[in-house]
Chains A and B, each alone.
Chain A
Amino acid sequence: MSENLVQVEHLRQYFPAGGFGKNKKYIQAVDDVSFTIERGETLGLVGESGCGKTTTGRTLLRLYEPTGGRFVYDGDVIFDVEKKQYVDMLPYRKKMQIVFQDPYASLDPRMTIGDIVGEAIDVHKMAANKKERYDIIIEMLKRVGLNSEHANRYPHEFSGGQRQRVGIARALAVRPEFIVCDEPISALDVSIQAQVINMFEDLQQEMGLTYLFIAHDLSAVKHISNRIGVMYLGRMVELADSYELITRPLHPYTKSLISAIPIADPKMAKESKRIVLEGDVPSPLNPPSGCRFRTRCPYADEKCAQECPQWRELEKGHFAACHHIDKCN
């Protein structure tokens, strides 16, 4: 049964960045991004810093007010900028939650772990009395591999991996259906990353969760996601089943991204050829015309500068936006 829990259409998020009147400048953080996520599925979102992956996640939860586009959650329109439709978020915050990137900065140092997890329970009035509240908190802590005595401690008493577990427990406390995981593992040590990834997978099975998993580490995302979307400078450039995307990438950017990942195997690393991209990511204040990747793309030509490539379904379930798909494959 395929049922789209999350449906995002032409999402746009611009941030004002100085200038007045006609000269007002905008950072085009997210520009025309569309995707869907089925119930129980994990969609991975990868890209380099500044490509808009975090902004996409945050805008969906209305942590930023969207500039354009439409977001339908489980049949309900959360926002539709064109029709000026905005829904009251409070009841939906119970269904959608977020886990932040930095476990050191996202927990209030003056609150105990119990209160951090309990805050959402209070806001949504999910517990009838103190006993019930306490029970929920303990249950959540146990789910993420912590125990009841941790509830009275403060964040500084925990290691990075444990703090991230607290962050996850906080998101789970209101029993959400959809969780935006915003680079939840990038601040953790390698040996701890695997623990947290496995825990995300277990929780998904136990609680039937749907994830939007944002990260810049393609190999980690591949492990947890059913499908992966690749973003570059505010646009989605490719979206496909994760195995398909890794083995048969179509977009030149995805190709170079995959080849740039260092392989943890000396023999394979010596044999593999890297496609090293020239230059840096252009500024989102002033993105290149046409295809945004053209300034670093080895296949770019006139057409790329004039026309923005269309987002097409090239094969079943495999989307990409590039003029020269045939040439580079």
Chain B
Amino acid sequence: MSEYLVDIKNERLSFFTPAGEVKALNDVSIHLKEGEVLGIVGESGSGKSVTAYSLMGLTAHPGKLLGGSLYFNGHQIEQLSEKEMRKIRGNEISIIFQDPMTSLNPVYTIGNQIMEAILLHTEKTRAQAKDRAKELLELVGINEPEKRLKQYPHELSGGMRQRVMIAIALACEPKLLIADEPTTALDVTIQAQILELMMELKDKLGMAIIMITHDLGVVASMCERIAVMYAGKIVEYGTAEDIFYEPKHQYTKGLIRSIPRLDTKEHERLVPIEGTPVDMLNPPKGCPFAPRCEECMKICLREMPPVTNFGEVHYTQCWLNQKEERSANE
């Protein structure tokens, strides 16, 4: 039906909180082929996690899907019932959460938690599931799997727990793995281990990955495609090369300028993006980034800019790019 594994079109999703409607996603479109790695970057509250969660049907009350279509591997996610969704979740799509300290159940053993996914989605017996769990632990680089199966989460370190999370996520060989800031809670040397492991497994198992992070360094080394999100919108989308070497949106440019780099020589001053993140309860009328943008024009405050395409994949939503394109056409 579709050439893509994941095809999200014009998704709009809001959270109805007591304080008012929060438009978490506003016209978000993402597509992804099998075996591709997509990075979603953005600040906290920009909607990067919600995009991925909605694909798993994890945005229950007070979240509400207001429009758009979510296609995944032959399913129309927005039309599925909870029961049907359960068959897909953990089977065809898996997720690794940010905090390995809180995402494992403290009262069950590691083995129990890995086997749960296997027993739920396959016809395997308990003994077979146990063998599979052992295999998985070996796959993610945990030594003495026999012993680990009997241990509880508190007996493992943060890096090990994240490996267990990955093992659970991979239990049914999913087509798509969503990694929601999988290394934010970990130290850099452990982060390097986990990222290495994820890329290795991707090559071995051929799954697609959606990598959600705020760390531009992580996406640079891992992702083929990058979506930059700001206030519930994808403001720029392109290949890693497009985003890092030819950023077109002012926010992307600012983001890349503001990261401290190791390879600068002298005591160079950082160039921050001024201002504060958007208040999602009262978003500005026009372009959400306009209040912080250096090149803000009158129209930016009034209207949301349309999409400007540069080549096949690369696009932005910015009036400046529109203006340039228009003058180029003339």
A residues touching B (Cβ–Cβ < 8 Å)?
48-49, 159, 161-162, 189-195, 197-198, 201, 216-220, 222-223, 243, 246, 256-267, 269-270, 274, 276-277, 280-281
Bound form: Cα–Cα A262–B43 in Å: 18
Task: Give the contacting residue for A191; candidates B160, B218, B258; CB below 8 A.
Answer: B258
Chain A residues contacting B256 (CB-CB under 8 Å) are 264
Residues A258 and B262 in contact, CB atoms below 8 Å apart: yes
- Residues of B in contact (CB 8 Å), total 43
Chain A residues contacting B255 (CB-CB under 8 Å) are 190-191
Of all chain A residues, the one with the shortest Cβ separation from B230 is A191
Chain A residues contacting B277 (CB-CB under 8 Å) are 159, 189, 191-192
Residues A216 and B274 in contact, CB atoms below 8 Å apart: no
**When A49-B187, A190-B258, A223-B260 are in contact, do A201 and B269 touch as well, CB less than 8 Å?**
yes
Residues B272 and A192 in contact, CB atoms below 8 Å apart: yes
Residues B221 and A190 in contact, CB atoms below 8 Å apart: no
Is B196 among interface residues, defined by CB-CB distance under 8 A?
Answer: yes
Is B10 among interface residues, defined by CB-CB distance under 8 A?
Answer: no
In the complex, identify which listed stretch (B23-31, B86-94, B114-122, B209-217) lies at the interface while the others stay far away.
B209-217
Chain B residues contacting A276 (CB-CB under 8 Å) are 189, 192-193, 196
Residues A269 and B270 in contact, CB atoms below 8 Å apart: no
Additional A-B contact list (14), CB under 8 Å, known A191-B254, A197-B270, A262-B217: A48-B187, A190-B43, A216-B187, A216-B188, A218-B188, A219-B260, A262-B191, A263-B217, A264-B256, A266-B240, A269-B217, A280-B159, A280-B160, A280-B190
- The CB with the most chain B CB atoms within 10 A, among A161, A256, A269, is that of A269
Chain B residues contacting A222 (CB-CB under 8 Å) are 260, 262
Residues B244 and A264 in contact, CB atoms below 8 Å apart: yes
B residues touching A (Cβ–Cβ < 8 Å)?
43-44, 157, 159-160, 187-193, 195-196, 214-218, 220-221, 240-241, 244, 254-256, 258-262, 265, 267-274, 276-277
Chain B residues contacting A243 (CB-CB under 8 Å) are 265
Chain B residues contacting A223 (CB-CB under 8 Å) are 260, 267-268, 270
What's the count of A-B pairs with C-beta under 8 Å? 126
Of all chain B residues, the one with the shortest Cβ separation from A190 is B214
Chain B residues contacting A195 (CB-CB under 8 Å) are 272-274
Chain B residues contacting A201 (CB-CB under 8 Å) are 269
Residues A48 and B261 in contact, CB atoms below 8 Å apart: no
Chain B residues contacting A189 (CB-CB under 8 Å) are 43-44, 214, 277
Of all chain A residues, the one with the shortest Cβ separation from B192 is A260
Query: What are 15 contact pairs spanning A and B, CB under 8 A?
Result: A190-B215, A190-B258, A191-B43, A191-B255, A191-B258, A194-B258, A194-B270, A194-B273, A195-B274, A198-B272, A257-B189, A262-B195, A264-B216, A264-B220, A264-B256
Chain A residues contacting B193 (CB-CB under 8 Å) are 276-277
Task: Give the contacting residue for B262; candidates A159, A162, A261, A267; CB below 8 A.
Answer: A261
Of all chain B residues, the one with the shortest Cβ separation from A256 is B189
Bound form: Cα–Cα A119–B279 in Å: 30
Bound form: Cα–Cα A260–B183 in Å: 12
Task: Give the contacting residue for B188; candidates A220, A257, A269; CB below 8 A.
Answer: A257
Q: Output the least CB separation between B69 and chain A (Å).
A: 31
Chain B residues contacting A218 (CB-CB under 8 Å) are 188, 262
Residues B189 and A48 in contact, CB atoms below 8 Å apart: yes
Of all chain B residues, the one with the shortest Cβ separation from A222 is B262
Residues B157 and A280 in contact, CB atoms below 8 Å apart: yes
Q: Output the least CB separation between A8 and chain B (Å).
A: 24
Bound form: Cα–Cα A281–B273 in Å: 36
- The CB with the most chain A CB atoms within 10 A, among B43, B196, B259, B271, is that of B259
Of all chain B residues, the one with the shortest Cβ separation from A263 is B217
Of all chain A residues, the one with the shortest Cβ separation from B261 is A219
Chain B residues contacting A194 (CB-CB under 8 Å) are 258-260, 270-273
Pairs of residues from A and B, 10 with the lowest C-beta to C-beta distance, nearest first: A262-B217, A194-B272, A269-B221, A48-B187, A260-B192, A194-B258, A194-B270, A195-B272, A191-B273, A266-B240
Of all chain A residues, the one with the shortest Cβ separation from B195 is A262
Chain A residues contacting B273 (CB-CB under 8 Å) are 191, 194-195
- The CB with the most chain A CB atoms within 10 A, among B157, B216, B265, B276, is that of B276
Q: Output the least CB separation between A166 and chain B (Å).
A: 14
